[in-house]
Structure formats: structure tokens, C-alpha cells
Amino acid sequence: FGLFCRLLQRELTINQIAKETGKSYSFTNKAVKSLIQQGLLHAKPVGHSILCKANYQHPAARQYLALSSALMHQQRFAAVREGKRSHVSTILSVLKHDFLCAVLVKEQLFIIRKDEPALGGDFHIIQSLHFKDFIRQHNLEDVIVVAGYEKFWELVGENFE
């Protein structure tokens, strides 16, 4: 599922998935067909190929995406300079989980909330109702989820097919 964390509308053939994961086509074909049967992936036949993409509405798919992005983003967050990591941790501890999720985009912190109270600080508040516009404005490869992985993918599921 890590392949689908980077681009929301990414569609991959079984052959592309096999190449990117380093697994054989036969193994990948069986695994992908199982994921399609379980409803975790959408499949679209195109000629002799099948294009696959994550089913963001499926709760189990969102769990896999949350886990994959947590592992990937923790590594990417560790690469962010120490001063910025410390600053982000302080802001998140002050907010005491009064937010849905938090992301870094090019070292700028964005807090996603249901409402948009007047909070001060050197971070941006995005109302969850504007989440879709926010994600469309940013390349998902530049987004590092730093808190609320499950909620992040739940919001993706609510806003994207």
C-alpha cells in the first residue's frame, strides 16, 4: 500500500506493482487479485492490463495506508532539521489532540481541524471542509503526516474516489 501513499489518483498495472515492489509477476498478480476481491483496491481493465488504485473508502484500506504512511513519514520526519521537529512537537503537545491531523509541507506545519478557531502561531489551520482543496494544491510526495495518520486517510476517503 506504500505505493498508493504518494499519489492519490495513482493507478498502477500489476506489472508496475511487481516491478516497484521487487516481487514476481505471478506473486503480485495473486496478491493484487486478492486485494481487489476484498475491496481494498479498485480495478479498471484497460486492454489486456488491469489498472489498480487504492479504495480510499474502504476502512481496512485506510488502515493499511495509515500504517504505510506512518512508517514512511516517520523516516521522512526524522530527516527534517532538529529545530523544526522540536517546534512541531511542541505545537502538537500544546494543542493536546484538538485537531484531526497535522502535516508538514516543505517544512510548513498545517493543522487540520473540524472548526477553525482563531489560534495564533507560525502554522496554518485548515478546516476539514477545505481538506480536498488543500490536498489538491500540494503534491502528496511533499506531505509528511506528523500526527493523526488514520484521520488523514479517513479524510482522503471522504474526499476522493
pLDDT digits (tens, 9 = 90+) for 16-42: 999 988 999 999 999 999 999 999 999
Dist. CA 156–CA 134, nearest whole Å: 11
Q: Is the dihedral of CA 43, 44, 49, 54 positive or negative?
A: negative
pLDDT digits (tens, 9 = 90+) for 105-157: 988 888 888 876 655 567 888 888 899 999 888 888 889 999 999 999 999 98
The pLDDT-based confidence of 6 (bands split at 50, 70, 90) is confident
Task: Please report the DSSP string for 26-54 in residue order.
Answer: HHHHHHHHHHHHTTSEEEEEETTEEEEEE
For residue 42, CA distances in Å to 3, 108, 161 come to: 14, 33, 10
Side chain identity at residue 91, one-letter code = I
Q: Which residues pair with 145 in a beta bridge?
A: 103
| Nearest residue to 29 (alpha-carbon basis) of 50, 58, 56, 54 | 50
pLDDT digits (tens, 9 = 90+) for 30-80: 999 999 999 999 999 999 999 999 998 999 999 998 998 888 888 888 888
Question: For 47, phi and psi rounded to 5 degrees?
Answer: 65, -125
Supply 74's cell numbers. Answer: 516517520
